[in-house]
Amino acid sequence: MKTYERISIVGVLLLFVLILAECRKENKNNGNNNQQIADGKQTFRFDTYGDESFWSGLLHLDSAIAGAQNGGYGPGVSPKTALAVGLKVDATALPPDVVAGIQAGTISLDDPATTLALLKLGAVVGVKGTFSSAGKLQAIGVTCAICHSTVDNSFSAGIGNRLDGWPNRDLNVGAIISLTDNAKPVASLLHVDEPTLRTVLGLWGPGKFAAILFMDGKALKPDGTVAANLIPAAFGLKDVKLTTYTGWGDIMYWNGFVANLEMHGKGSFSDPRLNNSTKYPIAVENGFFDVINNPDLITSKLPALAAYQHSIAAPRPPAGTFDATAAAAGRMIFTNKAKCASCHSGPAYADNVLHTGAEIGIDDFEASRSPTDKYRTTPLGGLFTRSKGGYYHDGRFATLNDVVDHYNTSMSLDLTTTDKSSLVEYLKSL
Ligand code: HEC
Ligand code: HEC
C-alpha cells in the first residue's frame, strides 16, 4: 500500500470517528431537550408553585367548591357549575367506571361531591386539589393550564383530551374568584370596597383576565368600560421575542411574572420597572417589584417551562374551515396591497417590534399600562383557536371581518369587498 493510500484510509477512519462522536453528542442533546420539554409540560399542567396559600388560604376556594354539604360553605360547585364557568375536564384522567357512570347517569354532574372526586383524579384541567389521607379536600391551587389549555370536547362539551397552549376562552376567571367568601383582602389591595370588586369581577366575562389591574389598580378604561384582556395563545411562540400584548418581556420573564404575581406562587421575582408609584401604585405598595421566597418554587422551573411552550407549534385549522382558493388570493393581499406582512412577518407572523396605538389605529390606554408604552404585533398562527371573545387585546373587534374593516379604514387601504373576504379566508387558514 502506498503512503498516500494509507494516509487517506486513516483520514477516512478519523472522519468516521468524528462523525460518530458528533452523532452521540446530538443524541444526548436531543435527549436532554426532550427531558426538559417533558418536565416543562408537567410544570405547565400540574405545578401550582405553592399558590394554594392564596387560592385556598386567603380566598377559601377549596371550601367554596366543597360546599356546606362537604364541610365547606355555600352550595358548592357541581361539575355542571364548573363546566358553566368554563373549567375543563381531562377525559384521559377518568377511569372506565367513572366514564361508564357519567354515561349511564349514575354519577351525578349536579353534585359537588362529584367535583371533589374529579379533583382527586386530577381530571380538572389547571386545578389541583390536595386531599387528606381521610379523603377530605384540604387545599386548591391553580396551574398555568387553567387559562392556557382547553379540551377537544371529544367526550362531551368541556370534557375531552387536553389541548395545551389553546386559550380557554370559556373560562370565567372573574366568576371563579367571586366564589370567595373573603373578598376583603383583594378589595383592600385595590383600595375598593367588596361590592365594587365583585362588580368588576363580574364585568370581565369569559376568556378574560386583568393582569395589570393588580399592578396599577385601573379596573376601567377611560370610557368607563371594564379593562380586561383576552387570554392569548401560549403556542406558536418559538420565534416570538416579546411576550404579552404590550411586550412586557421575553417568555421567561413573563412566565415568572405570572407565576409569582398573578397566581401567587412562591418564587422570586424582580423588576425595577414596577417600582414606579405613579404608574404601578399597587405593585409598589405590595413590593411586587422585588419578591423573594425561600424556598423558591418557581425560578428553577422556568427554563423547562419555556422549552415546553416553545415546543408547541401553532395548530393548523381543520380542512374545510376556510376557502383555500380565496385564502391563496388573500395571501397576496396580506403581503402586497394591505401591507399586513410589514408587521405580521416571519414564521410567527409577528415582527417582534413594538407599535404605538396610532400605528394600528387604536387608543393608547392598554399600551400606557406597560413599561413599553406600546403594543406588540400579535402572532397570527392558529387564529382559529381564538375565534371566541373577539380580536385585539380586549376583544374590541368581534369578528375577523371587523378587524379587516378596521385596518381598511384606519390605514386607508382601499380594499374591495372581494379583497376583504379573501383576506379573512387567509387569516382563517393560518
Ligand atoms: C388567570 C389566567 C391565567 C393564568 C393562570 C396564566 N395566564 Fe398566561 N396570560 C393570561 C392573560 C390574560 C395574558 C395576556 C396578558 C396581557 O398581555 O395583558 C397571558 C399571557 C401569557 C403569555 C404571553 C403570550 C403572548 O402572546 O405573548 C404567556 C407566554 C403566558 N401567559 C404564559 C403563562 C404561564 C407559563 C402561566 C403559568 C405560570 C400562565 N401564563 C398563567 C392569563 C393567564
Ligand atoms: C403597524 C403594524 C401592523 C400592521 C401593518 C398590521 N398589524 Fe395586525 N396587529 C398589529 C398589532 C400591534 C396587533 C395587536 C393589537 C392589539 O392586541 O390591540 C395586531 C393584531 C392583529 C390581529 C388580532 C390577533 C388577535 O389574536 O387578537 C389580527 C387578526 C391582525 N392584526 C391582522 C392584520 C391584518 C389582516 C393586517 C393587514 C390588513 C394587519 N394586521 C396589519 C400590528 C399590525
pLDDT digits 0-9 by tens, 297-350: 999 999 999 999 999 999 999 999 999 999 999 999 999 999 999 999 999 999
**∠ CA 274-275-279 to the nearest 5 degrees?**
65
Q: What is the per-residue burial (b if ≥16 Cβ within 10 Å, else e) of 36-60?
A: bbebbbebbbebbbbbbebbbeebb
pLDDT at 32: 75
Q: What is the distance between the alpha carbons of residues 124 and 353, in angstroms, rounded to a whole number?
A: 37
Which of the residues in the chain have pLDDT under 70?
1-31
Q: Cell for 321?
A: 374551515
Do 66 and 76 touch, CB atoms closer than 8 A? yes
Length of the chain: 430
Binding site membership of 146 for ligand 1 (Cβ less than 6 Å): yes
**Residue 61 grid cell:** 376556594
- State the amino acid at position 257 in one-letter form: F
Q: How far is CA 378 from CA 4, 10, 232, in A?
A: 61, 55, 9
- The cell numbers describing 295, all together, are 424556598
What are the cell numbers at 373?
408604552
CA of 403 to the centre of ligand 1 (A): 23
Distance 79 CA to ligand 2 centre (A): 38
Q: Evaluate: CB of 391 within 6 angstroms of ligand 2.
A: yes
Q: What does the pLDDT read at residue 17?
A: 55
Nearest ligand, CA 228: 1
For residue 105, report the distance from its CA to the centre of ligand 1, in Å: 36
Cis peptide before 79 (omega within 30 of 0): no
